[in-house]
Amino acid sequence: MRGFLASSIGVTCAAALALPLAPPAAAAATSAAEPTTGRTVRPEAYVPGSTQSLPLAPLTHNRTPGAVEQGVPRRDVRHFSLVGVVWDDPDTELHGHVQVRTRATATGTWSGWQELETHNADHAADPGTPESASDRVRGATAPLWVGESDGVEVRVRASSTSQAPRTTEATGAVQTAASPLPTGMRLELVDPGEGAPPAAAPDPEEGPRTTATTATTSMADESAEAVAASAVNTDLAPLGATEIPALDRAGTEAALLAQGGTGALTAQQKTKPYVGPRPGITTRRGWGADEKLRERKFVYTKKVKAAFVHHSATGNNYTCKQAPSVIRSIYRYHVNSMGWRDVGYNFLVDKCGKIYEGRAGGVSKAVLGAHTLGFNSNSMGIAVLGTYTSKKPSSAAVKAVARLTAWKLGLYGMNPRGKTYLKSGGGNLYGKGKNVRLNVISGHRDGFATSCPGKKLYDKLGTTRSTAAKYQGR
């Protein structure tokens, strides 16, 4: 079981594959072979869609490893929009505070100090899985969206341990021990890169196209990874679709019955399939995922029995137009900085209520995520973009979560107001192998000792359950 912060519920949501990258002054560095795919992973030169990695150094005269105050002095850097801190050992606890300040590219103005959510194993691949066992996995803070910036400063200060204070013999002064900081700490500065290709314009000779066809782009020059990521959704939208169109209730039920049910539907469910109308979903192609970053293989579990709701803990300072950029940044941070095989969440929702496909493998399928350590099997993870510890989520976002869960859980015959059992893969609340009774729609904190999805979002889950059930016709 991985460690977590000094406060047992000071752990927060955020999720991610680590890539040792060059600092801004360097254009290249040593290559590393990716153990799981055999691909050669090279540090990225700066282009739109890249990561700068800066080592932290002691900020005091104490130069020993684990010095209790480390950081990066104020400096100019290449453009970035999201920041996080990673360290070598994912099992090492970070007891302390991580603060950053950044300079906006547009105005040249420096922000005040902003706190990064420090967490360790609150959401990750389950213990013992190939994804968690990869030697590329790193410990990390939650990433923070700061908008386009070209200057940065960071400081990390260790907190006091729980040991009793001691008094020095020479002066009689009371001293409090401080925990050493993790070794190999690095500041990750992520540029989200460019967005999705423009959708093809309708051919006037063909007449008006359907929503699905209009939101489709050519795959002729795309990589095999990009084609595969789109092909797993072709039962819902054409190859190259940037949007999976919404269906009304009747259309959704007809599609489900025509396919025989995605999950193991009973005879009664086939007669009356309690499934909500399918919401519109922006595909990975739609938000501009670089499919060459992730592992090629898709991994599935048996079914989807529960949904875990998260917040991304990336802050609320983004516009809905910027949401695809935020997602591309989280994806890059999860894969290149934290060492995961793909973005951890199965779906993401922005403050305007738009739904986005997360981990590749097909939005209607039981894709194995890395969102709730110990409970990734037979579940899905939904992250609402933002931090909802003290800020209320928008009604549009809450409604979108209800619509998404009504549809996806309905495909597998699950009642959003019901309970289910999941077997724990190991964590800080439940031991490995324990069958745990959970709400079909749960918050991250129900499966792991964490503050995620933030109190204000967690408080909305009752409304989400009842609304999702109504969408299913219950």
Whether residue 237 sits in one domain with residue 356:
yes
Whether residue 297 sits in one domain with residue 183:
no
pLDDT of residue 125: 84
Q: How far apart are CA 277 and CA 196, in angstroms?
A: 26
Give kind and range of the element (H or E) at residue 175.
strand 174-175
pLDDT of residue 213: 44
CA 454 → CA 279, 313, 450, distances in Å?
25, 9, 9
Kindly report the pTM of this predicted structure.
Answer: 0.84
pLDDT tens for each residue of 212-236:
444 678 888 899 999 999 999 999 9
Q: Helix or strand or coil: residue 239?
A: coil
Whether residue 238 sits in one domain with residue 146:
no
Whether residue 451 sits in one domain with residue 312:
yes
Nearest alpha carbon to residue 407 among 372, 466, 364: 364
Do the domain assignments include residue 251?
yes
Phi/psi for 269 (5° steps) reads -70, -30
Do the domain assignments include residue 166?
no
Residues 6+ apart with CB under 8 A from 428: 1, 2, 4, 8, 121, 448, 449
pLDDT of residue 253: 86
Whether residue 378 sits in one domain with residue 346:
yes
CATH code of residue 413: 3.40.80.10
Whether residue 458 sits in one domain with residue 334:
yes
Do the domain assignments include residue 5?
no
Do the domain assignments include residue 11?
no
Do the domain assignments include residue 259?
yes
Whether residue 145 sits in one domain with residue 282:
no
CA 386 → CA 57, 115, 312, 319, distances in Å?
30, 14, 6, 11
Whether residue 394 sits in one domain with residue 254:
yes
Whether residue 265 sits in one domain with residue 372:
yes
Whether residue 185 sits in one domain with residue 232:
no
Burial class, 31, CB count within 10 angstroms (exposed 0-12 / middle 13-18 / buried 19+):
exposed
Do the domain assignments include residue 10?
no
pLDDT of residue 120: 54
Do the domain assignments include residue 19?
no
Q: How far apart are CA 400 and CA 381, in angstroms?
A: 14
Whether residue 226 sits in one domain with residue 132:
no
Total number of domains in the chain: 2
Do the domain assignments include residue 16?
no
Whether residue 328 sits in one domain with residue 295:
yes
pLDDT tens series, the chain, 474 aa: 444 333 334 444 544 333 333 333 333 333 333 333 333 333 344 567 899 999 999 987 766 665 689 999 999 999 999 999 999 999 888 889 999 999 999 999 999 999 999 875 566 888 888 888 888 999 999 999 999 999 999 999 998 754 444 444 444 444 455 678 999 999 999 999 987 666 554 444 433 333 444 467 888 889 999 999 999 999 999 999 999 999 999 999 888 877 766 655 566 666 778 999 999 999 999 999 999 999 999 999 999 999 999 999 999 999 999 999 999 999 999 999 999 999 999 999 999 999 999 999 999 999 999 999 889 999 999 999 999 999 999 999 999 999 999 999 999 999 999 999 999 888 778 888 999 999 999 999 999 888 899 999 999 999 999 999 999 999
Q: How far apart are CA 57 and CA 143, in angstroms?
A: 20
Parent domain of 64: 32-160+179-191
Alpha carbons within 13 angstroms on the beta-carbon side of residue 442 total 26
Phi/psi for 178 (5° steps) reads -120, 145
